Structure 1
Amino acid sequence: MKRYLRTIRVGVFLTVRSITRGSIGTTVMTVFMMAMIFMNLIFLTAIINGLTNTAQKQIINTLTGHVLVEAPAGELYMPRANYVYQQLLDVPGVQNISARTNFSAEITISGEQGSYRGVAIDPAQEAMVTTVAEHIVSGRYLKNDDTNKLILGNQVAGDKNNDVEMQAYSLKGAQVGDWVNLQFSNGRSQRFEVVGIFDTDFVQADNRFFISQQEFFALFKEYKNHASEFAVKITPTADVNTVADDIKALPLKIKTRTWKETAGIVDSFTSSFDMVNVIVSFAGLLVAGITIFIVMYIDVINRKRQIGILRAIGITENSIALSYLMRALLYAFFGVILGMLIFKFAIIPLFLQHPLKLPVGQVSLMIAYSLMYVRALALFVVAFLGSYIPIQRVLRMHIIEAIWGK
């Protein structure tokens, strides 16, 4: 036991001496490189987490709610919409519901035209389920008694400065106050005034337009009390899967999906980014290992004679090896600490102030601390291996050869 304690004590002494008497510039540069590598290991993961979290929130808040109840397969609309609405509202955990009637129409304005997805809504109901009403960037939101009025998503309205993702398929700059002509799939046409434009920063949500259900049912009396889907918002304490199962158990001809089941696009790009993340993380760890190896190898070569003398005067090989391993782990430790501080107090606030604008919304960094600890542990392992190899090579040399620097 005393031998082990002496080995550790001597190893710590040699570590302290080598750091305090070594090159400060080399030490600082190595720690800084470890910090950069550590931040590289967690940066892409933080972007992927932020991207996934933003996309999930956007799907819930702008498209489907927590649960989407649709007409059964082969049917466009559900009859007795008021009855279905009440049945859904009585399900435990349901907070609010928005009944929607989907349709398609061709919009024409000033020589520009395109076919878009229209949604007839009860504006008050929709505002209690989604956040579309909170993202009006021009004009106003719909009112329940609006007639010949509509609001356009910014991907439909377009922009004269080509500042939207789907500009080529838009109306090239429709504005509040413009009158547009809607031609429905049955051939009927009607003029509508644009009273508002909304921009949720989610392309899939902004590629629609809304009219009031009152107006839609006035135009198509045969569809009165019909709905294509119901967007369901649950209470904060409710479980989405439990609520969905309770809805499925109702004696209704409906198709029920949770928001997760509609989020295939999120799973698709998340899995793709995960593969990229694995490759980048592996490359980062490889760079970390090579960096430690080079620093330690150069140090060992320069101190080969000193190491031989230490062995000659009775310092054990284990103490010498331990000193180098501890120094490498200290480089990694302070690199992780510095990387965490830079990431927390510089990079994350920067992205909060200037988030990435992507088709799914405004994306900031989101880091899981458990994953950060895993990355730190991986860096320690790589630092250990990177220092172990060069020191073992020197320790295998004969003492006389080491002293003579051969």
Structure 2
Amino acid sequence: MKSSDILKWGLRGIRQRKLRAALTILGIMVGTAAVIALVSQTEGIQSSIIDQVNKLGPNTISIRPASGAVVLTQTDVNKILQIPGVEYVVPVVTAPVRVYGGGTSRLFTLVGVDSAEFEILISDVKYAEGRLYQPLSYSEVTVGSSVRQPQDLTYPMVAVGQSATVEIGLVNPVRKTVQVVGVLEPYGTSALVSVDDSLFMSLKGAMALTGRSSYNALFVKTVDVDSVDYVVENVKAIYGTRLSILTVKQITQIVSTITGQLTVLLGAIAAISLFVAGLGIMNIMFVSVIERTREIGVLKALGFTNNDVLLIFLSEATVMGVIGGVLGILVGSGISYVIPILLSAGISRTAGSFGSAQSFSYTPIIRPDIAALVLLFAIAVALLAGFYPARRASKMDPVVALRHD
């Protein structure tokens, strides 16, 4: 029997039982869509984080105290600068601050870094308005886009040329006034900080504002990528385990490992729905075999072989698997772009209720190889689920089948 004839008989069975076939296809579609939508999130998050980390450059080393008992000072900066292969050592001070403006307040991050080293850490920044703070200023700040206007507000909190009140400290908070001199274009998250949700000022200004006498972190730039390992080994030789040292390569590996495991976990959870859909296919195929017992007897009486009958029923399962899989990929692709919007809105609302305005965004990535693999998996589930009912139909005695009412 020709393959085209087998396919026609399979399609005929689907057309005769449209509602049942539609429900089966729906089950496969939901399972496939869940896999695509969830896996694309982890792929997008991984890509976003790695892109931001890579903006620091492959020759960047992050150094932080390993415990609260360790402090980083200018002495440490000078010491690390003496290591061969080191080009820059950029000290950074960060602290949570509450900004008051526009009749409301929000929590943001204050970042202190020398203006000459600002673009070493945060590259390719653009200004929506104004300029970067002066190197010797103790009061000028350049703010991220969400500081000027948080996502949950319809009006700006601060403006260039105006002063703003910031509150530092949780136990005994102190309020101080700063002058807004610039606003950055929307940037997103860097490996250092969420740029959009930060206020930037001179290093000495931030230390004076927060009352700190030490740095939160040091970012080391080597002369080239080949010098990174040598510099790391020398820093470890000097400080031992007192410092936490991470290279861009290590951060990328950690992110890839975590998101890879998360992808497998979410994919496995979503794949369960495909197996449930497979059980539905098996159940429907069994019912179909029982209902079409007499038809099977007629087919065999007309000369259809056991293999022909088997292939007819398997073609039904395959067609439903293909249709459900393709629709699932399309629907899952659409849902995957809705999830980040909902997550961002939810995080903004939650943060806003606690007086914060931290933003969170990424673009999901739908890899063609994963989509193809999911489609093949959906078809395989449909075939496996339909095989036993199809085999049972092919083994029917035509005489007994023709006597069936």
Q: TM-score, normalised by structure 1?
A: 0.69
Number of residue pairs the alignment of both structures matches: 377
Q: Of the candidates 18, 25, 33, which is equivalent to residue 39 of structure 1?
A: 33
Q: Which aligned pairs between 1:105-120 and structure 2 lie closer than 5 A?
A: 117-120=109-112
Q: Which secondary structure state, in structure 2, belongs to the residue aligned with residue 372 of structure 1?
A: helix
Q: Which aligned pairs between 1:65-144 and structure 2 lie closer than 5 A?
A: 67-71=61-65, 73=67, 74-80=69-75, 82-84=77-79, 86-87=81-82, 90-91=85-86, 98-102=90-94, 117-131=109-123, 133-134=125-126, 139-144=130-135
Cα 1:369/1:325, change in 2 over 3 Å: same
Deviation, 1:111, is 8.8
Q: Which aligned pairs between 1:265-344 and structure 2 lie closer than 5 A?
A: 275-287=265-277, 289-293=278-282, 296-297=285-286, 299-333=288-322, 335-337=324-326
The answer to whether the Cα contact below 8 Å between 2:340 and 2:362 also exists between their aligned partners in 1 is no
Q: Does 1:229 align with 2:222?
A: no
The answer to whether the Cα contact below 8 Å between 1:101 and 1:229 also exists between their aligned partners in 2 is yes
* Counterpart position of 2:352: none
Q: Which secondary structure state, in structure 1, belongs to the residue aligned with residue 92 of structure 2?
A: strand
Q: Which aligned pairs between 1:174-213 and structure 2 lie closer than 5 A?
A: 174-180=158-164, 191-198=177-184, 200-202=187-189, 205=194, 206-213=196-203
* Counterpart position of 1:247: 232
Q: Of the candidates 329, 341, 344, which is equivalent to residue 357 of structure 1?
A: 344
Q: Write out per-residue CA displacement over residues 226-266 of structure 1, whole angstroms, 9 at most, x where no aligned residue.
A: 7442235689x958xx8357423335434312466599999
Q: Which aligned pairs between 1:40-59 and structure 2 lie closer than 5 A?
A: 40-58=34-52
The one-letter code sitting in structure 2 at the alignment partner of 1:382 is V
Higher mean alpha-carbon deviation, 326-335 vs 315-324, is at 326-335
The one-letter code sitting in structure 2 at the alignment partner of 1:249 is N
Q: Which secondary structure state, in structure 1, belongs to the residue aligned with residue 178 of structure 2?
A: strand
The one-letter code sitting in structure 1 at the alignment partner of 2:246 is R
Q: Which secondary structure state, in structure 2, belongs to the residue aligned with residue 361 of structure 1?
A: coil
Q: Which secondary structure state, in structure 2, belongs to the residue aligned with residue 176 of structure 1?
A: coil
The answer to whether the Cα contact below 8 Å between 2:50 and 2:252 also exists between their aligned partners in 1 is no
Deviation, 1:335, is 4.7
The answer to whether the Cα contact below 8 Å between 2:35 and 2:266 also exists between their aligned partners in 1 is no
Deviation, 1:29, is 5.0
The answer to whether the Cα contact below 8 Å between 2:61 and 2:219 also exists between their aligned partners in 1 is yes
Which structure 2 residue ranges, 5 or more long, are not aligned? 348-358
Q: Write out per-residue CA displacement over residues 337-380 of structure 1, whole angstroms, 9 at most, x where no aligned residue.
A: 56557777x778x7799897365633222123443343223212
CA distance in 2: counterparts of 1:217 and 1:138, whole angstroms: 26
Cα 1:77/1:106, change in 2 over 3 Å: farther
* Counterpart position of 1:7: none
Cα 1:356/1:50, change in 2 over 3 Å: farther
CA distance in 1: counterparts of 2:342 and 2:173, whole angstroms: 44
Cα 1:41/1:75, change in 2 over 3 Å: closer
The answer to whether the Cα contact below 8 Å between 2:36 and 2:332 also exists between their aligned partners in 1 is no
Deviation, 1:320, is 1.6
Deviation, 1:121, is 0.6
* Counterpart position of 1:257: 246
Q: Write out per-residue CA displacement over residues 182-212 of structure 1, whole angstroms, 9 at most, x where no aligned residue.
A: 6777999864212234554459625543211
The one-letter code sitting in structure 2 at the alignment partner of 1:41 is V
The answer to whether the Cα contact below 8 Å between 2:6 and 2:308 also exists between their aligned partners in 1 is no
The one-letter code sitting in structure 1 at the alignment partner of 2:72 is Y
Q: Which secondary structure state, in structure 2, belongs to the residue aligned with residue 133 of structure 1?
A: coil
Q: Which secondary structure state, in structure 2, belongs to the residue aligned with residue 151 of structure 1?
A: strand
The answer to whether the Cα contact below 8 Å between 2:7 and 2:315 also exists between their aligned partners in 1 is no
Deviation, 1:58, is 4.3
Higher mean alpha-carbon deviation, 40-49 vs 313-322, is at 313-322
Deviation, 1:162, is 3.9
CA distance in 2: counterparts of 1:234 and 1:370, whole angstroms: 37
CA distance in 2: counterparts of 1:89 and 1:128, whole angstroms: 20
The answer to whether the Cα contact below 8 Å between 1:99 and 1:230 also exists between their aligned partners in 2 is yes
Q: Which secondary structure state, in structure 1, belongs to the residue aligned with residue 361 of structure 2?
A: strand
Higher mean alpha-carbon deviation, 292-301 vs 103-112, is at 103-112
Higher mean alpha-carbon deviation, 41-50 vs 125-134, is at 125-134
The one-letter code sitting in structure 1 at the alignment partner of 2:159 is Q
Q: Which secondary structure state, in structure 1, belongs to the residue aligned with residue 404 of structure 2?
A: coil
The answer to whether the Cα contact below 8 Å between 1:120 and 1:210 also exists between their aligned partners in 2 is yes
